[in-house]
Structure 1
Amino acid sequence: MFIVIGANGRVGSAVASTLLSAGRPVTAVLHSSDNDADWRKRGAQTAVVDVRNTEALRAVFRTGTRAFLLNPNADVSTDTDREEHATVRSIVAAVDGSGLEKVVAASTYGAQPGERCGDLNILYDFEQALAARSTPATIQRGAYYMSNWDEMLGAAKRGVLPTIIPGDMKIPMVAPADLGKAAARHLLERPCDHDVHYVEGPERYSPQDVADVFAAALGNPVKVEVLPRDQWIAAYRKLGFSAAAAESYARMTAVSVDSGFAMSAPFERGRTTLEDYIGALVAKSRGSHALPGGHGAARESRH
Structure 2
Amino acid sequence: MFIVLGATGHVGPAVAETLLAAGEPVTVVLHHEDKAAAWRAKGAETAVADVLDPDGLRAVLRRGRRAFLLNPSAAPSTDTEVEEHRTFAGIVAALEGSGLEKVVAESTYGAQPGERCGDLNILYDFEQALAAQPIPVTVQRAAYYMSNWDAALDQARQGALPTMLPAELKLPMVAPVDLGRAAADFLREPVGQEGIHYVEGPARYSPADVAAAFAQALGRPVEPKVTPHDQWEAAYRALGFSEPAAASYTRMTELTADTAFKPEAPRRGTVTLEQYIAELVRRG
TM-score by length of 2: 0.98
Which whole-Å CA distance do the structure 1 matches of 2:218 and 2:100 have between them? 47
Q: Hey, what's the Cα distance between the residues in 2 that align with 1:106 and 1:192?
A: 18
TM-superposed CA distance for 1:194, in Å, is 4.4
> Is residue 131–residue 194 contact of structure 1 (8 Å, CA) maintained in 2?
no
- Runs of 4+ with deviation above 4 angstroms: none
Equivalent residue number for residue 178 of structure 2: 178
Aligned to 1:292: none
In 2: Cα distance, 1:94 partner to 1:35 partner: 23
SS at structure 2 position matched to 1:34: helix
Please name the residue that 1:273 is paired with.
Answer: 272
Structure 2: 5+ residue stretches without partners: none
2: distance between equivalents of 1:147 and 1:162? 14
Q: Give yes or no for contact 1:155–1:162 (8 Å, CA) kept in 2.
A: yes
Q: 1:125 corresponds to which residue?
A: 125
Say what the alpha-carbon RMSD is for the aligned residues.
0.9
Q: How many residues are paired up?
A: 284
Q: How big is each residue's C-alpha offset from its partner over 1:145-185, in whole Å with a ceiling of 9 and x where there is no partner? A: 11111111111111111100100110000001110111011
1:183-202 to 2 correspondence within 5 Å? 183-192=183-192, 194-202=194-202
Partner of 2:207 in structure 1? 207
Q: Does 1:5 align with 2:2?
A: no
- CA distance in structure 1 between the partners assigned to 2:191 and 2:242 by the alignment: 40
Residues in 1 aligned to 2:90 and 2:123: alpha-carbon distance in whole angstroms = 14
The CA deviation at 1:263 is 3.2
Local SS of the residue matching 1:59? helix
Q: Supply the distance in 1 between the matched residues of 2:60 and 2:212 (Cα, whole angstroms).
A: 46
Tell which deviates more after alignment, 92-101 or 262-271. 262-271
Q: Deviations over 1:80-99 (max 9, x none)?
A: 00000011111011111111
Partner of 1:137: 137
On the 8 A contact 1:137/1:192 being kept in 2, the answer is no
Which consecutive residues of structure 1, in runs of 5 or more, have no partner in the other structure? Answer: 286-303
Question: 3-state SS of the aligned residue for 2:47?
Answer: strand
> Within 2, Cα distance between the matches of 1:147 and 1:52?
26
Structure 1 residue 76, shift from structure 2 partner: 0.7
Q: How far did 1:8 drift?
A: 1.6
Counterpart position of 1:229: 229
Comparing 106-115 with 216-225, which one deviates more in the overlay? 216-225
Question: In 2, distance between residues paired with 1:134 and 1:194?
Answer: 13
Larger RCO (alpha carbons 8 Å, 6+ apart):
1
Q: Quote how far apart the aligned CAs of 1:193 are.
A: 6.0
Distance 1:49 1:117, change over 3 A: same
- Structure 2 matches for 1:94-109, cutoff 5 A? 94-109=94-109
